[in-house]
């Protein structure tokens, strides 16, 4: 079931808005439309990200590096900046929650993914910078990051199936996750929901690692 159908089946209004999250004006327009339609913004989830394929520091191009940083990290900077402007003006005891989807490679580098590791590592520390700024200014806006392991998304499954040795690839990935299986999208969604809710009201600048033991 698509997200829109899921929400509407439960009486939750949905607004779809296509935007280039690496473009400041486009994100501002998206945030403003949200304010116009719903009157406020309580939660922002920055989840845009791309890789540039396999590429270590010697073989990945500067063009690929800039592209990965723009989509994966610049989008978090722009989104957070725009969201804070609206959230802080709302006042009240609940200022808002910003959740940034980083990666296990924002904690543990991958030699074969130089640009991706750099971008996700930047998301990790940018999250903490935002958390400190908001806390010190009394905005009551929390900022936390989520660090998924290998998750069986549609894109990842397709990538595995395209591999010449998909069985060997699957076995290699499983071996890196002590829990013995790969995650499902719902595993990450549940973590994001927790950070978005008041159940996590005492968490800011934290890293929620959901990786089946990959980083142990």
pLDDT digits (tens, 9 = 90+) for 60-96: 999 999 999 999 999 999 999 999 999 998 866 678 9
Q: What is each CA distance from 114 to 26, 105, 109, 151, in whole angstroms?
A: 28, 10, 8, 20
Q: Mind listing the domains of the chain with CATH numbers?
A: 44-210 (3.40.50.720)
Q: What percent of the chain has pLDDT over 90?
A: 77
CA distance 193 to 209: 14
Question: Would you call 116 a catalytic residue per the annotation?
Answer: yes
- Flag whether pLDDT at 1 surpasses 60: no
- The single residue of 116, 139, 150, 214 carrying the catalytic annotation is 116
Whether the full predicted model's pTM is greater than 0.85, yes or no, is: yes
CA distance 161 to 97: 37
Return all residues near 42 (Cβ < 8 A) that are at least 6 apart.
87, 94, 96, 97
**pLDDT at residue number 62:** 94
CA distance 114 to 61: 10
Report residue 31: phi and psi, to 5°.
Answer: -65, -40
DSSP 117-157: HHHHHHHHHHHHHHHHHHHHTT--EEEEEEEE-SB--HHHH
Across 49-110, the runs of DSSP E, i.e. the strands, are 96-101
Spacing of C-alpha 205 from chain mean position: 14
- Flag whether pLDDT at 113 surpasses 80: yes
CA distance 38 to 174: 43
**pLDDT at residue number 143:** 98
Share the mean pLDDT of the chain: 92
**pLDDT at residue number 11:** 85
**pLDDT at residue number 52:** 62
Q: Determine the length of the chain.
A: 216
Residue 50's pLDDT band (cuts 50, 70, 90): confident
């Amino acid at each position: 079931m698509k997200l829109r159908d899921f929400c509407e089946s439960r009486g939750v209004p949905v607004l779809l808005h296509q935007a280039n999250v690496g473009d400041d004006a486009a994100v501002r327009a998206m945030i403003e439309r949200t304010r116009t339609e719903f009157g406020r913004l309580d939660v922002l989830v920055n989840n845009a990200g791309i890789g540039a394929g396999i590429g270590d520091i010697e073989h990945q191009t500067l063009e690929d590096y800039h592209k990965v940083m723009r989509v994966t990290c610049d989008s978090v900077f722009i989104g957070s900046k725009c969201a804070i402007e609206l959230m802080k003006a709302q006042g009240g005891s609940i200022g808002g929650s910003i959740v940034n989807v980083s990666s296990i490679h924002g904690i543990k580098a991958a030699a074969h993914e130089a640009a991706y590791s750099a971008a996700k590592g930047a998301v990790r520390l940018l999250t903490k910078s935002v958390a400190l700024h908001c806390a010190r200014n009394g905005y009551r806006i929390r900022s936390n990051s989520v660090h998924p392991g290998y998750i069986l998304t549609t894109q990842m499954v397709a990538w595995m199936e395209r591999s010449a040795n998909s069985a060997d690839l699957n076995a290699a990935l499983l071996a890196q996750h002590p829990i013995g299986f790969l995650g499902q999208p719902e595993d990450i969604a549940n973590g994001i929901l927790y950070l978005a809710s008041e159940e996590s009201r005492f968490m800011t600048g934290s890293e929620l690692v959901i990786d089946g033991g990959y980083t142990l």
